[in-house]
Amino acid sequence: MTWKTELLAKGKLAKSASRELAITSTTLKNNALALMADALVEHAQEIIVGNQKDIENARIAGMKESLIDRLMLDEKRVVDMADGLRKVIELQDPVGEMLTGMKRPNGLEIAKIRVPFGVVGIVYESRPNVTVDAAGLCLKTGNAVILRGGSDAIESNKVIVGILQEAILKAGLPVGTVNLIEVTDREAVREMLQLNEFIDVIIPRGGSGLIQMVLKNSTVPVIETGIGVCHVYIDQEADLAMAEDITINAKTSRPGTCNTIETLLVHRDQATQILPSLLGKLQGLGVEIRGCGRTQSIFPKAIAAAEEDWGTEYLDFILSVCIVDSFEDAVEHITKYGTKHSEAIVTTNYARSERFLREIDAAAVFVNASTRFTDGGEFGFGAEIGISTQKLHARGPMGLPELTSYKYLIRGNGQIR
């Protein structure tokens, strides 16, 4: 079939499945998740064989080893994916929760109830673990899902989705619960982003290019995720040992994640005291330092930072460092270059800690803690479908409730207006 036919067919399947999923019990959904987890482990070898094809093609195409590592599945990783599904079983099902209720003077009883979105479209890169993760989170929240992973992972994804679908059927749920767009044509993604009739929400997961493409082309509502140009600001009054610990953690504990800092801001009164030791330690850990002029004069081993450095998400062992004259300048810098993801101040001053919390416009604003805590797991959500950097619907880490909408149920006895 042509890709247009495939898209429409899968859109219809998903929409139809979503109507059934919306009224499926938690027990049945959990049962399906358990069968899905079992099936993945049982068919691990098939998955690895499919994955090998992707890896071979990627090597031929000259893919970087770091990306090949993200693509690669072995037995342990398959077991991890299955365990991820089992964890979702334990999470509370948000569907059906009564968010609020009211009885109006005319006797109408209005209940605001959590319901699934319907059909969620996930557009992502060549990471087969996202296939399983997204399928599990969507199923638990009563949503059908249409998956469109990177073309480099297509063989892995086909095998995985085939296995998941078999388990879903065995559980008595419709096969359209989990759908994979198999055509790798780029035009197909653009078409998917306009399937308003069948898709209720699109969530892109991946790098800046992918997210911009989705934002630009989608007429379906999008939840923007995950670009993080995050900062630590060391105030003129700060515990220097704490400032060192937080900065080193926020930069080096996992540089490829969006909640890692890219820029360190330091008040000028602290710079000479803290920078030589802190930047020396960071260099010792393999971090390249790109500094403003004043930083270079204090720490000559820093490379000169260019204007574009301040807005760059390195996702790597690189840190830009800027000395600022005041708290206000730090806030200005963050407002200008930040991506509204995660921002931290290290200070012992109460008034400025409160001002930072109020004035910084970001999903997560920290006082005296590492930005690395912006994470569904760390927030206690149990699971995370991504970190929203937009203000509509969800902001910051998105757990299960963020994969739902609501509706109003109104019970009357003949009221007219």
Question: Minimum Å distance from CB 56 to its own copies?
Answer: 36
Q: Which is nearer to its own copies, 67 or 215 (CB)?
A: 215
3-state secondary structure of 140: helix
DSSP assignment of 179-246 equals EE-----HHHHHHHTT-TTT-SEEEEES-HHHHHHHHHH--S-B--B----EEEEE-SS--HHHHHHH
Q: Which residues bind its own copies (CB under 8 A)?
A: 19, 22-23, 102, 104, 108, 110, 115, 117-118, 196, 200-201, 215-216, 219, 221-224, 239, 242, 245-246, 248-250, 253, 335, 353, 357-359, 361-370, 372-374, 378-380, 390-393, 395-396, 405-417
User: From residue 282, how far is each of 140, 237, 293, 318 by CA, in Å?
Assistant: 42, 22, 19, 9
> Is residue 367 packed enough to be buried (19+ CB in 10 Å), middle (13-18) or exposed (0-12)?
middle
Question: Minimum Å distance from CB 93 to its own copies?
Answer: 15
Question: Minimum Å distance from CB 162 to its own copies?
Answer: 29
Q: Which is nearer to its own copies, 118 or 136 (CB)?
A: 118
Rounded Cα gap, residues 19 and 238, in angstroms: 55
3-state secondary structure of 259: coil
Question: Minimum Å distance from CB 274 to its own copies?
Answer: 15
Q: Which is nearer to its own copies, 30 or 404 (CB)?
A: 404
H/E run at residue 291: strand 288-291
Question: Minimum Å distance from CB 380 to its own copies?
Answer: 6
Question: Minimum Å distance from CB 79 to its own copies?
Answer: 25
> Two tokens at 38?
């079992």
Rounded Cα gap, residues 371 and 254, in angstroms: 11
Q: Which is nearer to its own copies, 31 or 335 (CB)?
A: 335
Question: Minimum Å distance from CB 255 to its own copies?
Answer: 13
Q: Which is nearer to its own copies, 314 or 356 (CB)?
A: 356
* Start-to-end CA span in the chain (Å): 52
Question: Minimum Å distance from CB 100 to its own copies?
Answer: 10
Rounded Cα gap, residues 139 and 43, in angstroms: 20
Query: Torsion over CA of 67, 129, 216 and 263, rounded to 10 degrees?
Result: -60
Q: Which is nearer to its own copies, 41 or 369 (CB)?
A: 369
Question: Minimum Å distance from CB 231 to its own copies?
Answer: 15
Q: Which is nearer to its own copies, 140 or 294 (CB)?
A: 140
Question: Minimum Å distance from CB 391 to its own copies?
Answer: 4
284-295 exposure pattern, b = at least 16 Cβ within 10 A, e = fewer:
eeebebbbbebb
Q: Which amino acid is at 319?
A: L
Q: Are 387 and 396 in contact (CB under 8 A)?
A: yes
> Two tokens at 116?
């699934």
- Token pair 């030791």 is at which residue? 277
